[in-house]
A and B are shown apart, each in its own frame.
Chain A
Amino acid sequence: MVSGGLGRRGRVVFAASMMLLTVAMVFGCKENQTTTTTQGSSSPPAPGGGGAAGGPAIIIGEYGSLTGTQADFGVQTDQGIQLAASEINATGGIEREGKKMPVQIAVDDDKSLAQLAETSVKRLIDEKHVIAVLGEVASSASLAGGKVCQDKGIPMISPSSTNVDVTKGRDMVFRVCFLDSYQAAVVARFAIDGLKAKRVAVFTNKSQAYSTGFSSEFKKAFAKYGGQIVADQSYSQDDQDFRGALTAIKAANPDAILVPGYYNDAGSIVKQARDLGIKVPLLGGDGWSSSKLLTIAGPAANGCYFSDHMSIKDPKPLVQDFVANYKKKFNADPTSMSALGYDAARIMFDAIKRSKSLGGKDIRDAIAQTKDFSGVTGNITINANHDADKSAVIIAVKNGAFEYAATIPDPNKPMSAK
């Protein structure tokens, strides 16, 4: 075999071929990263505004996990927002100073990666010139994106990030859902009263702010209500083999296992737990609220419980109208994530309508004044911390479907016997 120095031409050719490969790679990535602007309405107004109703378009940004491990949350939220946008555009748009301004939603996919959320939001603000931002579901991503919004003075509403820190110290960031401090307490109360589980094991995803926050709030509440944590295990992003930790959890003999992760991990964990002969219920939070959980876990998920923002089987007319409209547009059942996306978008439209100007600070003030807004996920009042006080429901998995199990308005009070 010939060895020896690399000729000058050789170097040039190989450098060039590596560059070609790199270029190919960059092009490959580009396809998914480009921002798409979608028109919620079926009849888009002429470019640059000037629809039948008059005013120029209002561009609102949305960053979300349209692909990746939380893609179902991203797509559900996106569809909720699209529904809200198409409904308001059907009436001509947001009414301001006597003119109707159609809404455009600029969507950017962060691929379920918190480190890409920052870039997504920057792209929306700097390239799409959005006046306000909607997103994300995952708390880690909302924390990253919220920082950009705060720095750039653009108001943001997260539809469903429940981690306590998402809105903390950020006057530009709001949310329309409850917090994990409340949600985790609800699950703790349900475990102790609803399931009579005194000994609970906790299995946390330590790479997700949502999961770690949920766990620590749960442990506090569960101890307060008289329960005992018998095992405390964790996993990290991209782990797929949970049997080591689950075997240890099984040995601790718990009455229930809390898995505050997102649906992909939770589904795999439930499945592997059943394979190892663990028969006790597994518990989760709103991170479980995806039909994908049922696809991944299959029949193993039966007998598990999780807390959620609402049940789409709620007979209230507001909820059922939303479910019917959503089904008509997307030919699928909505989830609580779609409902929160829908509510977040409508609160944003309402605030823009009431806002003194289209500047970030004025829109922020208008969002902060939201009071008793009648949303699909309940009445929404934005409190002084920029959060919403709402109640959670417990959903049971029965025969491969999500069923409403209980509502717990105040977890500090014992549940009344059913």
Chain B
Amino acid sequence: MTEAVQNLLQQFINGIQTGAVYALIAIGYTMVYGVLKFINFAHGDVYMVGAYIGYFAIGGFLLHYNPALQDVAALIICMAGCAALGAFIERLAYRPLRNGLTKGDAWPWALFWALYAGLFGGPSLEAHSGLNSVGAFAVAAVIGFALLLPAFFVLFNYLGKRLQPTNSRLNALITAIGISLLIENQWQASFTATPQQYPDQGFKAVNLHAGVIQLNVNGGRIAMLVIAVLLTALLVYIVRYTRTGRAIRAVSLDPEAAALQGIPTDRIIAITFLIGASLAGAAGFLNHNLGQIYFKPDVGVQLGLKAFVAAVLGGIGSIEGAVLGALLMGLAESYVGGSSLSAFKNAIAFVILTAVLLFRPSGLMGRHVPEKV
């Protein structure tokens, strides 16, 4: 009897930890859906990039600091790096789709292709000059940017006036899938498919006693859970009680009416991507560093998909729903993973989703909004 209760509680703890990671990712899906009504499938790859940024930071310039400082600094760098990436993806791909190409789109496009100029031009420049590989990459990228910027400027200026913008969500969705594949495959080409692992942060396994019941959990995972809860609370505060949060909610409710009230929709959408991506970056760092799980360039695919399912389960567009859905999924996976049906652990997410959507088509906490025709 005691053993059964202990088991149940242990699986509960395991499930909450998994769910916390899903929640951090799911929030990004649900927020972007809220303002733009499309699924940003590149979100899982932002998570993956977050894991790598932290890994490079800790193995690089943070190497000689003490672990606590390393972790805090790396977490902030991850969040900042991913926020920048998320906002850049929006600026590069989604905004031109939404508002039409303008000459203002020249700089993100030039920047994007400048990276490739650096990637392909760098090695040959390295061979014919005294530069090291990083220097050669930078020089080639800067030259590429300088050449491409005026070219795109002229091109977009010409095209922009002759193009009708489109509000098709399908286009945005397919672009998101394209961006996701691009990041994943480019990452694999640049950093190989070999799994990487954060150095051991020295967290010990902790025994929790409560009478006869004894539970085990790793110290790093407790820290992970605490940080995840703090970040989620911070997010809820921002969305509920700040001007920016009110603007996000307004855009999510009705973008055109919000624009008429003087809300800069484009900037608010960019901020939404910034926030969502920074949480994904934090999740990537927490799950792989504090959770000590190895990662490779396709790690965002499965986790991203599950977080997406969690967001839909909770009612896409609702932040509270995303958190609830994520925790439910984490618990379900944990209990199924520990039963005799453990082979179906990854399928259970979709079984639950199907079952819930049959009875509540807009998810657990989703509002049913009649389609405007």
Contact = CB atoms under 8 A, between A and B. Distances in A.
A340 B345 CA distance: 36
Interface residues of B, number: 71
Contacts of A25: 181-182, 185-186
A234 interface: yes
A22 B178 contact: yes
A111 interface: yes
A1 B11 contact: no
A2 B165 contact: yes
B296 A68 contact: yes
A242 to B, nearest CB: 8
Contacts of B343: 206, 234, 236
Contact of A271 (B6, B14, B292, B298): B292
Given A241-B18, A244-B336, A247-B7, A10 B164 contact: yes
A196 interface: no
B216 A32 contact: no
- SS of A interface (majority): helix
Contact of A295 (B164, B193, B197, B218): B197
Contact of A32 (B10, B192, B336): B192
Contact of B195 (A235, A236, A264): A264
Contacts of B98: 1
Interface in A1-54: 1-7, 9-10, 13-14, 18, 21-22, 24-25, 27-32
A251 B14 contact: no
A24 B185 CA distance: 10
B207 interface: yes
A241 B342 contact: no
A25 B297 CA distance: 14
B337 A244 contact: yes
B44 interface: no
A244 B101 contact: no
A242 B342 CA distance: 10
Nearest to A204: B343
A67 B192 CA distance: 6
Contact of B293 (A5, A241, A251): A241
Interface stretch (B126-134, B166-174, B273-281, B350-358): B166-174
B214 interface: yes
Nearest to B163: A10
B205 A236 contact: no
Interface string A279-311: 000000000000000011010000000000000
A399 interface: no
A274 B292 CA distance: 13
Classify the interface of chain B: helix, strand, loop or mixed: helix
Contact of A28 (B10, B186, B333): B186
Given A69-B195, A264-B294, A277-B205, A244 B14 contact: yes
Contacts of A215: none
A132 to B, nearest CB: 27
B231 interface: no
B166 A6 contact: yes
Interface string A233-252: 11110111111110110110
A333 interface: no
A18 B175 contact: yes
Contacts of B235: none
A233 B345 CA distance: 11
A195 interface: no
A275 interface: yes
A298 B198 CA distance: 12
- Which of B186, B255, B292, B334 is the most central at the interface, judged by chain A CB atoms within 10 Å of its CB? B292
A239 B345 contact: yes
B216 A275 contact: yes
B335 A244 contact: yes
A206 B188 CA distance: 25
Contact of B337 (A5, A13, A245): A245
Interface string B89-129: 00000000111110000000000000010001000000000
B371 interface: no
A251 B186 contact: no
Contacts of B190: 28
B172 to A, nearest CB: 11
A148 to B, nearest CB: 21
A10 B292 contact: no
B346 interface: yes
A28 B192 CA distance: 11
14 contacts: A3-B167, A14-B97, A30-B189, A69-B195, A111-B193, A234-B343, A236-B346, A238-B302, A241-B333, A247-B7, A247-B334, A251-B6, A277-B205, A296-B197
Interface of A: 1-7, 9-10, 13-14, 18, 21-22, 24-25, 27-32, 67-69, 71, 111-112, 206, 233-236, 238-245, 247-248, 250-251, 264, 267-268, 271, 274-277, 295-296, 298
- Give the 4 A-B CB pairs with smallest separation, nearest first: A244-B337, A248-B338, A277-B216, A7-B164
